[in-house]
């Protein structure tokens, strides 16, 4: 009888505790450092780019006064100077340093056009609505997109697959603002199913945020059109990506082995096919979160939904530099934070990626 | 490796009779160019406790035949003809007639399959333990403790550090370890028939040895009924009681391992044996079979081997020979098997062994 002596590789190598510890810390450290650097670059770029826009808030205000009230230029300028306590003639680098100093202290500054209102209070007032509508929309389109994609892959080349594939391609190729306008025209005007005027804004007059069903109903009513638009324009790409991901997983040996093992169909679909096919989707999801926040500008304007995107457009039109900076910062941070979570989530879902974490 | 792990003894009932019979099985793949006749008219009896090797070049239909037994053929392939009969405890099951549920229960419990590429045989996102538990639970085991007990026992049997391996993720194991885990997994439900599709092909030579020793242990100590699919004659020689040579989807010769190796009667089998270099003895020029396997959509007329066969005559070009007895328990499908016999008498194979 031959004796078999195969040395077993150490499965859970246990290096000296402190070095493992250090690695874990250095990984997080590196990630954080990268995130901070990205944030700094974007903040700096937006700061200067915003100021490269033609005109500035005071000029625009002066022009406004001149056009609307027929004031002569010097009168309008005096009024503007009295209203705005900012000095735009200060050298840019100094303004930049002031801004960065404020940021480091957690101060986003105050709105130029509504003196006395801090940028953070504006963001805190409008951001939750964007998170609410975009969050629900993403969850819906992700969940249904993945399920439909899985379904399409299982029935590929079938009638339903062909129909859904065409539908998904069409949906994912329509820009969301076009679809938004179409919804208003057809649902609101032509067919009169929804009163567009009533859905404007984030809440009906008189409804206050509270933990009541009325509040949620009203909030959903107002968010329904933006949510529908987001879902319809994003679900197509989830379906198509999930379909192709599933098709490649279905060809994996472990799926054949699972069948050979006589596993139940449901178990194979969920744990063997679904879980592996959905893995890359989660990375895409976190990236999508970042982009949808930025992409809400047009949709919120079309539906007059007062979220962060709506505010961004307002402040761009009036060149309210500080508010613009604040909103861009939020968008940047949401992309960065989402990416950060993508890494952590992925390592949690896929044991092959471990972030250097030790047992 | 500790001695303890070597002493694990499995309780396996080898059974008796003929667990598996293939009768005139044909399998075709539908393609745009036409039907690919991957398996043609194969009849085989698998006796309890014996191991049979299917050998032949790539594309000769070995794997397709193996997959058709557990009905895991891809959708484009279909068993176009024939019967697969499985027997246990005097009951006969028509494998091709099983419905979905019966088929699911038949798989792995009665007949399990060890696949060629164990590297990808495991779901990468769940632990080995979960994959073993999955399998047992799908077949009605409820007692988790018993499942774990059995799994650990099997992992020890395949000479792995069971406690560690069972909680590992697949990517934490080497190729050879995964192959052994797959073998352990294939024994989990104590199936009557074990199909091994090229169990050593993807492994390095030392790991191959480990797996072969392990399989020999299964054969000699546990008397498992096994079907080996291999293109490696040396492994077939070591592990099989009987060997069936396949060419262009047909079994062209079948006999005991000794018959096939010392008294081949089909020119193709002879060619395969001569194509293997010998480790001992004088340097001999290696023989290779000229030409390549036939196009399975548009096959040559008559004997499918005739374009590559040194014995081919007009008869071979026109008529396909059937398997005929060429010795006790030894069949070959060749018009000229007597000439092969004569040639071997003048130029015997394996003069050293």
Question: Which ranges in A53-84 belong to alpha helices (H)?
Answer: 57-69, 73-83
Tell me how close the Cα of A5 comes to any Cα of chain B, in angstroms: 6
Contact (CB<8Å) A11/B165? yes
Interior/surface letters B277-304, b for 16+ CB within 10 angstroms, e for the rest: eeeeeeeeeeeebeeebbebeeebebbb
Residue A270 DSSP symbol: I
DSSP summary character for residue A211: S
The radius of gyration computed from the CA coordinates of chain B, to the nearest angstrom, equals 21
Question: Residue B129 is encoded by which pair of tokens?
Answer: 């333990």
- Percent of the residues in chain A that have a pLDDT greater than 70, as a whole number: 88
Using a CB-CB cut-off of 8 Å, the residues of chain B touching A3 are 1, 6
Choose the mutation target among A4, A249, A253, A281 for the interface with B, i.e. most B CBs under 10 Å. A4
Print burial letters for B98-121: b (CB count within 10 Å at least 16), e (below 16).
beeeebbebbbbbbbbbbbbbbbb
Interface contact A105, partner B, CB < 8 A:
no
Inform me whether the C-beta atom of residue A270 falls under 8 Å from chain B C-beta atoms: no
Give yes or no for A248 touching B (CB within 8 A): no
Average pLDDT, chain B: 87
Please give the pLDDT value at position A77.
77
pLDDT at B22 exceeding the cut of 90: yes
pLDDT at B352 over 50: no
Q: How far is B271 from chain A (nearest CA, A)?
A: 32
Give the residue-averaged pLDDT of A80-92: 70
pLDDT at A58 over 80: no
What tens digit of pLDDT does each residue of B115-130 get? 887 778 999 999 999 9
pLDDT at A120 over 70: yes
For B206, the closest chain A residue by CA position comes to A6
Residues in chain A: 359
What is the pLDDT at residue B286?
Answer: 67
In sequence order, the β-bridge partners of residue B280 are none
Rounded to a whole number, what is the distance in Å from the CA of B119 to chain A's nearest CA? 9
Contact B1 A275 (CB under 8 A): no
Q: Is the pLDDT of residue B234 over 70?
A: yes
Other C-beta atoms within 10 Å of B347: how many? 9
Task: Tell me the C-alpha distance between B52 and B38, whole Å.
Answer: 20
Nearest to B1 among A5, A257, A279 (CB): A5
| Residues B152-198 pLDDT 10s | 999 999 889 999 999 999 999 988 899 999 999 999 999 999 999 98
Q: What contacts B35, CB < 8 A, 6 or more positions away?
A: B28, B29, B297
The beta-carbon contacts of A47-53 under 8 Å, at least 24 apart in sequence, are: A47/A96, A47/A99, A47/A325, A48/A92, A48/A96, A50/A319, A50/A321, A50/A324, A50/A325, A50/A328, A51/A92, A51/A321, A53/A316, A53/A319
- CB contact (8 A) between residue B112 and residue A271: no
Q: Which residues of B touch A264 (CB under 8 A)?
A: 104, 138
Which residues in chain A have Cβ-Cβ distances shorter than 8 Å to B126? 271
Given a contact cutoff of 8 angstroms between Cβ atoms, the answer to whether B39 and B64 are in contact is yes
Q: What is the pLDDT of residue A205?
A: 76
Spatial distance between the Cα atoms of B28 and B77, rounded to a whole number of angstroms: 6
pLDDT at B282: 62
Asked whether residue A206 carries a pLDDT value surpassing 70, the answer given is yes
Q: Which residues of A touch B210 (CB under 8 A)?
A: 4, 6
A-chain residues near B122 (CB < 8 A): 254, 257
Distance from CA of A256 to the nearest CA of B (A): 8
Cβ neighbours of A349 in B, within 8 Å? 125
Distance from CA of A357 to the nearest CA of B (A): 14
To test the contact with chain B by mutation, choose from A255, A261, A346, A348 the residue with the greatest count of B C-beta atoms within 10 A, namely A261
Q: Is the ipTM of this complex over 0.95?
A: no
Which of B77, B114, B125, B155 to mutate against chain A (most A CBs within 10 Å)? B125
CB contact under 8 A, A350 and B210: no
Are A261 and B134 a contacting pair at CB < 8 A?
yes
Any idea what DSSP says for residue A9?
P
- Beta strands of chain B (E only): which ranges? 20-31, 34-46, 51-55, 77-88, 91-94, 111-114, 193-197, 225-230, 242-247, 250-256, 324-327, 330-332
Q: Does residue A26 register a pLDDT over 70?
A: no
The position carrying tokens 């193709």 is B268
Res B8: pLDDT: 58
Interface test with B, best of A1, A6, A349 (most B CBs within 10 A): A6
pLDDT number for residue A357: 45
Contact B174 A264 (CB under 8 A): no
pLDDT band per the 50, 70, 90 thresholds, residue A345: confident
CA–CA distance, A167 with A164 (Å, rounded to integer): 5
How many C-beta atoms lie closer than 10 Å to residue B54's C-beta?
Answer: 27
For the domain made up of A126-305, give the CATH fold: MetI-like fold (1.10.3720)
Of B205, B206, B208, B204, which is closest to residue B196 (Cα–Cα)? B208
Query: Taking CB atoms and an 8 Å limit, are A351 and B122 in contact across chains?
Result: no
Question: In the prediction, which pLDDT does A17 show?
Answer: 53
Q: Which residue has the tokens 């030392």?
A: B206
3-state secondary structure A102-139: HHHCCCCCECCCCCCCEHHHHHHHHHHHHHHHHHHHHH
State pLDDT tens for residues B106-117. 999 999 999 887
* Domains of chain B, start order: 17-240 (3.40.50.300), 246-346 (no CATH)
Cross-chain residue pair B123–A271, CB shorter than 8 Å? yes
Whole-angstrom Cα distance, residue A126 to residue A128? Answer: 6
- The rounded distance, in Å, linking the Cα atoms of B246 and B59 is 10
Give contacts of B196 with chain A, Cβ < 8 Å.
none
Contact B138/A264 with Cβ under 8 angstroms? yes
**pLDDT confidence tier of residue A359, bands split at 50, 70 and 90:** very low
Burial zone of A17 (CB within 10 Å; 0-12 exposed, 13-18 middle, 19+ buried): exposed
Average pLDDT rounded to a whole number, residues A348-358: 66
Residue B351: is its pLDDT beyond 60?
Answer: no
Contacts of B109 in chain A (CB under 8 A): 262
Sign (positive/negative) of CA torsion A359, B5, B9, B14? positive
From A11, A267, A276, residue closest to B168, measured CB to CB: A11
Residue A145 has pLDDT above 90, yes or no: yes
Residues with Cβ within 8 Å of residue B104, at least 6 apart in sequence = A262, A263, A264, B138
The residue ranges of every structural domain in chain A are 35-104, 126-305
Three-state DSSP at B80 gives strand
The helix/strand/coil state of A318 is helix
Place A14 in a pLDDT band, splitting at 50, 70 and 90.
very low
CB-nearest partner of A260 from B108, B160, B207: B108
The count of C-alpha atoms lying within 13 angstroms of the C-alpha of A15, restricted to the half-sphere facing its C-beta, is 10
**CA pair distance B167, B185, nearest whole angstrom:** 14
User: A162 in contact with B at a CB cutoff of 8 Å?
Assistant: no
Residues 6 or more apart whose CB falls under 8 angstroms from that of A176 comprise A229, A230, A233, A295, A298, A299
Residue A89 in contact with partner chain B when CB distance is under 8 A: no
- Tell me whether A253 touches chain B (CB under 8 Å): yes
> Which pTM was predicted?
0.79
Predicted local confidence at residue B33, as pLDDT: 87
Give contacts of A8 with chain B, Cβ < 8 Å: 160-161, 164, 177
> Do residue A352 and residue B134 have CB atoms under 8 angstroms apart?
no
Mutate which of A252, A257, A270, A282 to disrupt the B interface (most B C-beta within 10 Å)?
A257
Number of inter-chain CB pairs under 8 A, A vs B: 100
Question: How much is the pLDDT for B133?
Answer: 94
Nearest-CA residue of chain A relative to B102? A262
Residues 6 or more apart whose CB falls under 8 angstroms from that of B92 comprise B85, B86
Tokens of residue A179, six digits: 């679809």
């Amino acid at each position: 009888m031959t004796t078999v002596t195969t040395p077993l590789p150490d499965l859970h190598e246990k290096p000296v505790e402190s070095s493992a510890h250090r690695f874990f810390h250095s990984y997080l450290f590196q990630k954080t450092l990268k995130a901070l650097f990205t944030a700094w670059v974007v903040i700096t770029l937006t700061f200067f780019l915003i100021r490269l826009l033609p005109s500035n808030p005071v000029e625009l205000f002066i022009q406004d006064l001149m056009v609307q009230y027929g004031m002569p230029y010097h009168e309008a300028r005096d009024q503007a100077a009295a209203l705005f306590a900012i000095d735009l003639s200060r050298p840019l680098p100094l303004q930049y340093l002031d801004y960065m100093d404020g940021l480091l202290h957690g101060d986003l500054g105050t709105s130029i056009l509504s003196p006395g209102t801090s940028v953070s209070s504006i963001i805190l007032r409008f951001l939750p609505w964007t998170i609410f509508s975009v969050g629900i929309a993403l969850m819906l389109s992700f969940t249904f997109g993945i399920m439909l994609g899985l379904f399409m892959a299982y029935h590929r080349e079938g009638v339903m697959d062909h129909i859904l594939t065409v539908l998904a391609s069409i949906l994912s190729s329509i820009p969301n603002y076009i679809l938004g306008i179409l919804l208003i025209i057809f649902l609101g005007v032509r067919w009169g199913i929804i009163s567009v005027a009533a859905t404007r804004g984030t809440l009906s007059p008189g409804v206050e945020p509270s933990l009541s069903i009325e509040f949620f109903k009203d909030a959903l009513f107002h968010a329904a059109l933006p949510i529908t638009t987001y879902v319809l324009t994003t679900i197509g790409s989830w379906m198509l990506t999930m379909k192709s991901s599933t098709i490649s997983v279905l060809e994996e040996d472990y799926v054949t082995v699972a069948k050979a093992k006589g596993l139940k169909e449901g178990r194979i679909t969920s744990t063997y096919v679904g879980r592996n096919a959905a893995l890359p989707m989660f990375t895409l999801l976190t990236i999508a979160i970042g982009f949808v926040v930025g992409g809400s500008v047009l949709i919120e304007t079309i539906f007059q939904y007062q979220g962060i995107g709506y505010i961004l457009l307002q402040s761009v039109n009036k060149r309210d530099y500080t508010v613009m900076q604040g909103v861009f910062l939020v968008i940047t941070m949401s992309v960065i934070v989402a990416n950060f979570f993508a890494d952590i989530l992925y390592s949690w879902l896929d044991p092959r990626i471990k972030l250097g974490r030790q047992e | 490796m500790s001695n303890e792990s070597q002493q694990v003894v499995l309780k396996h009932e080898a059974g008796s009779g003929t667990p598996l019979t293939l009768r005139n099985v044909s399998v075709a793949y539908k393609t745009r160019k036409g039907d690919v006749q991957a398996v043609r008219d194969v009849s085989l009896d698998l006796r309890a406790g014996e191991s049979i090797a299917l050998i032949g070049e790539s594309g000769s239909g070995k794997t397709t035949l193996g997959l058709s037994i557990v009905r895991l053929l891809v959708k484009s392939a279909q068993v176009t003809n024939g019967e697969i009969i499985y027997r246990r405890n005097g009951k006969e099951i028509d494998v091709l007639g099983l419905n979905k549920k019966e088929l699911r229960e038949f798989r792995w419990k009665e007949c399990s399959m060890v696949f060629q590429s164990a590297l990808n045989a495991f779901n990468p996102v769940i632990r080995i333990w979960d994959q073993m538990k999955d399998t047992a639970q799908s077949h009605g085991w409820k007692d988790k403790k018993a499942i774990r007990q059995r799994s650990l026992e099997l992992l020890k049997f395949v000479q792995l550090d069971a406690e560690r391996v069972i909680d590992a993720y697949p990517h934490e194991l080497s190729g050879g370890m995964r192959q052994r885990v797959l073998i352990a997994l294939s024994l989990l439900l104590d199936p009557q028939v074990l199909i091994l599709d090229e169990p050593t092909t993807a492994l390095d030579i030392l790991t191959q040895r480990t797996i072969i020793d392990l399989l020999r242990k299964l054969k000699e100590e546990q008397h498992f009924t096994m079907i080996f699919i291999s293109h490696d004659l040396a492994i077939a020689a070591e592990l099989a009681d009987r060997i069936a040579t396949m060419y262009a989807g047909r079994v062209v010769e079948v006999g005991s391992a000794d018959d096939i190796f010392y008294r081949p009667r089909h020119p193709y089998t002879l060619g395969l044996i001569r194509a293997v270099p010998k480790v001992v003895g004088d340097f001999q020029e290696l023989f290779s079979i000229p030409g390549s396997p036939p196009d399975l959509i548009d096959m040559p007329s008559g004997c499918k081997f005739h374009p590559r066969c040194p014995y081919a005559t007009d008869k071979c070009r026109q008529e396909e020979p059937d398997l005929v007895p060429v010795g006790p328990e030894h069949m070959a499908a060749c018009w000229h098997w007597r000439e092969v016999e004569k040639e071997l008498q003048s130029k015997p194979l394996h003069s050293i062994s």
